[in-house]
Amino acid sequence: MRQDTSLNPFCALILVITAMGSQAQKQPEEAIDALLAKMTLEEKVGQMNQYNGFYDVTGPAPVGASGPALKYEHLKNGWVGSMLNVHGINEVRAFQKIAVEESRLGIPLLFGFDVIHGYRTQSPIPMAEAASWDLGAMEASAQLAAREAAAAGLNWTFAPMVDISRDARWGRVMEGAGEDPYLGAQIAKARIRGFQGDDLSNPHTIAACAKHFAGYGFAEAGKDYNTVDVGTNTLYNMILPPFHASVEADVATVMNAFNILNGVPATGNGLLQRNILKNKWNFEGFVISDWGSIGEMVPHGFAKDLKNAALSAVTAGADMDMESYAYVTHLAELVKEGAVDEALIDEAVRRILRIKFSLGLFEDPYRYCQTPPETLKQWEETHMAQVLDMAKRSIVLLKNDGQLLPISKDQEGILVIGDLADDKNSPLGSWRLGSVDHSAVSVLEGISAYRDDFNYVQGPKVFDDQADFLHHVSVNTTNTKGMEEAVEAAKNAELVIMVLGEHGFMSGEGRSRTDLGLPGLQQDLLKAVLAANKNVVLVLMNGRPLTLPWEKEHVPAILETWHLGSQSGHAIAQVLFGDYNPSGKLPMTFPRSVGQLPLYYNHYATGRPFDENDNVFWSHYTDEKNEPLFPFGHGLSYTTFGYNDLQIKTLPDSIVEIGVTVENTGNLSGEEVVQLYLHDVVASVVRPIKELKGFKKIKLEPGARQKITFTLTEKELGFYNNAYEWVVEPGLFQVMVGGSSAAGLRAGFELK
Catalytic site positions:
290
Decide if residue 291 touches ligand BGC (CB under 6 A).
yes
Least gap, CB of 111 to ligand BGC (angstroms): 13
d(CA 585, CA 433): 28
Instruction: Give how many residues touch ligand BGC by CB under 6 A.
Output: 7
Q: What is the DSSP letter of 467?
A: -
Helices (H), 337-398: 342-358, 373-394
Please say which residue, 116 or 571, places its beta carbon nearer to ligand BGC: 116
Decide if residue 111 touches ligand BGC (CB under 6 A).
no
Decide if residue 296 touches ligand BGC (CB under 6 A).
no
3-state DSSP assignment of residue 590: strand
Which residue in the shown chain puts its C-beta closest to ligand BGC? 158
Q: Is the dihedral of CA 214, 138, 629, 493 positive or negative?
A: positive
Please say which residue, 180 or 290, places its beta carbon nearer to ligand BGC: 290
3-state DSSP assignment of residue 727: strand
Please say which residue, 152 or 526, places its beta carbon nearer to ligand BGC: 152
Least gap, CB of 512 to ligand BGC (angstroms): 13
Please say which residue, 51 or 158, places its beta carbon nearer to ligand BGC: 158
3-state DSSP assignment of residue 673: strand
Least gap, CB of 328 to ligand BGC (angstroms): 18
- Nearest alpha carbon to residue 88 among 441, 369, 293, 308: 369
Q: Which H or E element spans position 43?
A: helix 41-47
Number of CB atoms found within 10 A of residue 61's CB: 12
Please say which residue, 113 or 643, places its beta carbon nearer to ligand BGC: 113
Please say which residue, 270 or 292, places its beta carbon nearer to ligand BGC: 292
From residue 479 to residue 518, what is the string marking binding to ligand BGC with x (rule CB under 6 A)?
------------------------------x---------
- Nearest alpha carbon to residue 297 among 263, 320, 329: 263
Partnered with residue 697 across adjacent β-strands are 673
Least gap, CB of 84 to ligand BGC (angstroms): 6
Least gap, CB of 719 to ligand BGC (angstroms): 29
d(CA 345, CA 384): 44
- Using CB under 6 A as the binding rule, the residues of this chain from 189 to 248 that contact ligand BGC are 211
Binding ligand BGC by CB under 6 A: which of 91, 114, 179, 671? 114
Decide if residue 158 touches ligand BGC (CB under 6 A).
yes
Least gap, CB of 118 to ligand BGC (angstroms): 15
Least gap, CB of 158 to ligand BGC (angstroms): 3
- Nearest alpha carbon to residue 368 among 197, 159, 192, 152: 152
Would strands 536-541 and 557-560 be described as parallel, antiparallel, or unpaired?
Answer: parallel
Would strands 321-322 and 396-400 be described as parallel, antiparallel, or unpaired?
Answer: unpaired
- Residue pair 245/135 in contact (Cβ under 8 Å)? The answer is no
3-state DSSP assignment of residue 641: strand
- Residue pair 115/154 in contact (Cβ under 8 Å)? The answer is yes
Q: Is the dihedral of CA 382, 383, 384, 390 positive or negative?
A: positive
Going from the C-alpha of 661 to that of each of 424, 560, 710, the distances in angstroms are: 43, 28, 12
Please say which residue, 158 or 641, places its beta carbon nearer to ligand BGC: 158
Please say which residue, 84 or 516, places its beta carbon nearer to ligand BGC: 84
Least gap, CB of 398 to ligand BGC (angstroms): 29
Decide if residue 87 touches ligand BGC (CB under 6 A).
no
Please say which residue, 112 or 738, places its beta carbon nearer to ligand BGC: 112
- Nearest alpha carbon to residue 350 among 69, 342, 78: 342
Q: What is the DSSP letter of 594?
A: G
Least gap, CB of 432 to ligand BGC (angstroms): 13
Binding ligand BGC by CB under 6 A: which of 139, 167, 290, 716? 290
- Ramachandran assignment for 250, one of left (phi > 0), alpha (psi -120 to 50 degrees), beta (any other): left
Question: Helices then strands (H, E): number in the chain?
Answer: 21, 25
Q: Is the dihedral of CA 262, 264, 270, 273 positive or negative?
A: positive
Positions touching ligand BGC (CB under 6 A) are 84, 114, 158, 211, 290-291, 509
